[in-house]
Amino acid sequence: MKPSRPLIEAIGLSISFGPQHARNRVVDDVSFRIGKGEAYGLIGESGCGKSTILRALSGLNGEYEGALTLNDRELPKKRDKEFFRRAQMVFQDPFGSLHPRKIVEKVLSEPLKIHGFDRHSERIAETLDAVGLGPSFRYRYPHELSGGQRQRVAIARALIIEPDILLLDEPTSALDVSVQAEILNLLKRLRIERNLTYLMVSHDLAVIAHICERAGMMHRGRIIEELTAGQIRKSEAREDYTREFLQASVEAVARDAEVVA
Amino acid sequence: MTDKAIASPAAPAATSHSGLGQWLRAPVPASPFHARMQQLWLQWRRLHANGSALFGLCVIVILLLAALFAPLLATHDIFEQNLAARLLAPSAEHWLGTDELGRDVYSRLLFGARITLYIALLTTVIVAPIGLIVGTTAGYLGGWVDTVLMRIVDVFLAFPNLILALAFVAALGPGIENAIIAISLASWPPIARLARAETLTIRKSDYIAAVRLQGASSLRIIFGHIMPMCIPSVVVRVTLNMAAIILTAAGLGFLGLGAQPPSPEWGTMLSSGREFVMTSWWIAAIPGTAILLTSLAFNLLGDGLRDILDPRHG
């Protein structure tokens, strides 16, 4: 299951916010490895630092200590264009992550222009098709779309430059339950079709268990233990905190397991 | 239905009137141009429902037409003096009376609209891009760029508009062109402030984070993503500002520092009519009313545009 060399590795990652005299350490000495083609989850309650890790890895926040590596090479604090082509992010809130004044086609052609891709029109049509939106959505403004449709556009925007890593920041938590399942199944299908590597952040165990093979349980800025999807479903945990967390959402996981099966 | 709309080009549908209506209301836009036109159509519908904004727009359109066709509409030569016919009350011969040199007030008012609109539009064309670029750059880049640019803005904001314009005109010399430069110098800072404030809220949003993560340069983000979001509020602000620009221009004219006497600028006309305000009210009242109406019209339109262009209304 574990490949020999990880694609992404975090070594002793620490992130602090606030002024010098009152530093608040949000992420404390976190290390994890994600193999190529793997889906790794970070679970934890709100404020435990999981999204902060994702923002640091994506390059939105360059102020961290420790190292993040891609293909065994340490990433510079200020990411280069090549990194952005390989790793793309999907945000939590589909209502905030699309430019309100740009039609879908413009949203999708922007990354193509930045990275100098050819065949814009064909690529846009193909990617829209891949995320389950027909050509009729091509010239729509975001405010004409539903939450699920917007999230599909956001996923299309991330995928159009053919990255191999997708960073998912609670991609379904802002959607209602029926749409959540659709988006999760879409993400699952896309990963297999395109051989993508996922790093997914969520507080929802059912979502993590559905998408990821392994997950790190986070508490107060640390990864306290790593679990496989099977362990999450069977509620097998070493730490008391994890067991409590699993217990609290066990019904949801059970329900999801039925849906998947 | 969808596929048909995509396959056939958009243009032929726009031939007949009902075809145009259908084209504008089509559920699935077939091209970027089509989508843009549908948005404009919706905005026009909203403007149509807003009575006061529509009134403002009508007044401005009438003013534009009057300025455009001034030579056709004027009944007299605006420079020709006729001392035998000075200070005549409004009549069939002189619709709005004559001034102290016997010139027709109505004809001068028409040509004055040209000067007023010229000043207002030219100032706006200069001011809006400068304010927008300074404000968005300061807001997005932050740090020392922000500090330097905003301190410059503070210096300009520390003086009242008219006083600053007066100082510049005094330095540059009187005349319309110098008045435009002076008014521009005095009125870009509030727009920069506004654009910066908008930018500060926009730069934190997820859609800006998303383009950053696509590897876009700061230049591309500022011009391609932040500015389109700031433009509506800047357009509103500029429209509301037009009233102030017109008043400042009239004020400069009144003080003898704007347009020079023979030219029929409204402020200058008002100033020359001041001496006769007790005996011949129309000389001062008519350009005064014109200034009032124009300012009011721009204000009403600006208010209406605020409701229409706000992106939060979708």
Question: Does A89 contact B213 at a Cβ distance shorter than 8 Å?
Answer: yes
- What pLDDT sits at residue B247? 84
Which candidate from B2, B30, B215 shows the least CB-CB separation from A114? B215
Question: Does A93 contact B214 at a Cβ distance shorter than 8 Å?
Answer: no
What predicted TM-score, i.e. pTM, was given to this entire model?
0.82
Chain A environment of B35 (Cβ under 8 Å): 103, 139-141
Helical spans, DSSP H, in B26-160: 32-49, 51-68, 70-73, 105-141, 143-157
Would an 8 Å CB–CB cutoff place B212 in contact with chain A?
yes
Tell me the torsion sign for CA atoms A24, A29, A35, A41: negative
Q: How far apart are CA A199 and CA A215, in angstroms?
A: 9
Would an 8 Å CB–CB cutoff place B7 in contact with chain A?
no
Question: Does A101 contact B213 at a Cβ distance shorter than 8 Å?
Answer: no
| A114/chain B closest Cα distance in angstroms | 6
Would an 8 Å CB–CB cutoff place A146 in contact with chain B?
no
Question: Does A59 contact B214 at a Cβ distance shorter than 8 Å?
Answer: no
Question: What is the interface size between A and B, counted as CB pairs within 8 Å?
Answer: 84
Helix, strand, or coil (residue A95): coil
Which of A90, A139, A153, A165 should be substituted to probe chain B, the one whose Cβ sees the most B Cβ atoms within 10 Å? A139
DSSP 8-state class, residue B175: S
pLDDT tens figures, A183-195: 999 999 999 999 9
What does the domain layout of chain B look like in residue ranges? 1-49, 51-313
Written as one letter, the residue type at A108 is L
Helix, strand, or coil (residue A140): coil
Chain A environment of B201 (Cβ under 8 Å): none
Q: Does the pLDDT value for residue A134 go beyond 90?
A: no
pLDDT tens figures, A196-238: 999 999 988 888 888 999 999 998 888 988 988 888 888 788 8
Would an 8 Å CB–CB cutoff place B203 in contact with chain A?
no
Which candidate from B6, B207, B314 shows the least CB-CB separation from A96? B207
Chain A environment of B210 (Cβ under 8 Å): 89, 91, 97, 154, 157
| B193/chain A closest Cα distance in angstroms | 22
Chain B environment of A91 (Cβ under 8 Å): 206, 209-210
pLDDT tens figures, A69-79: 998 888 988 88
Parallel, antiparallel or unpaired: strands A73-74 and A8-17: unpaired
Which position has the higher pLDDT, A246 or A29?
A: A29
Q: How far apart are CA A225 and CA A134, in angstroms?
A: 42
Q: How far apart are CA B157 and CA B70, in angstroms?
A: 37
Question: Does A141 contact B207 at a Cβ distance shorter than 8 Å?
Answer: no
Question: Does A143 contact B215 at a Cβ distance shorter than 8 Å?
Answer: no
| A6/chain B closest Cα distance in angstroms | 22
Any bridge partners for residue A8, and if so which? A34, A70
Q: How far apart are CA A107 and CA B211, in angstroms?
A: 9
- What pLDDT sits at residue B314? 43
CATH 3.90.950.10 fits A8-260, yes or no: no
Which candidate from B5, B215, B224 shows the least CB-CB separation from A115? B215
What does the domain layout of chain A look like in residue ranges? 8-260
- What pLDDT sits at residue B14? 42
How many DSSP H helices and E strands does chain B contain?
14, 0
Mean pLDDT (whole number) for A240-250: 80
**Mean pLDDT score of chain A:** 87
Written as one letter, the residue type at B164 is L
Question: Does A103 contact B211 at a Cβ distance shorter than 8 Å?
Answer: no
Would an 8 Å CB–CB cutoff place B215 in contact with chain A?
yes
- What pLDDT sits at residue B220? 93
Cβ-in-10-Å burial (0-12, 13-18, 19+) of A113 comes to middle
Q: Does the pLDDT value for residue A63 go beyond 90?
A: no
Which of B25, B206, B230 should be substituted to probe chain A, the one whose Cβ sees the most A Cβ atoms within 10 Å? B206
Chain B environment of A88 (Cβ under 8 Å): 213-214
- What pLDDT sits at residue B267? 84
Would an 8 Å CB–CB cutoff place B209 in contact with chain A?
yes
Looking at domain B51-313, its CATH architecture is Orthogonal Bundle (1.10)
| B4/chain A closest Cα distance in angstroms | 10
Chain A environment of B314 (Cβ under 8 Å): 100, 141, 143
pLDDT of chain B, 314 residues: tens digit per residue: 344 444 444 444 444 456 888 888 887 888 888 888 888 888 888 888 888 899 999 999 999 999 999 888 888 888 878 888 788 878 878 788 788 888 888 899 999 899 888 888 899 999 999 999 999 999 999 899 999 999 999 998 888 888 888 888 889 888 888 889 988 988 899 999 999 999 999 998 999 999 999 988 999 999 999 998 898 889 888 888 888 888 888 888 888 888 877 888 888 888 888 888 888 888 888 989 998 999 899 989 988 888 887 655 54
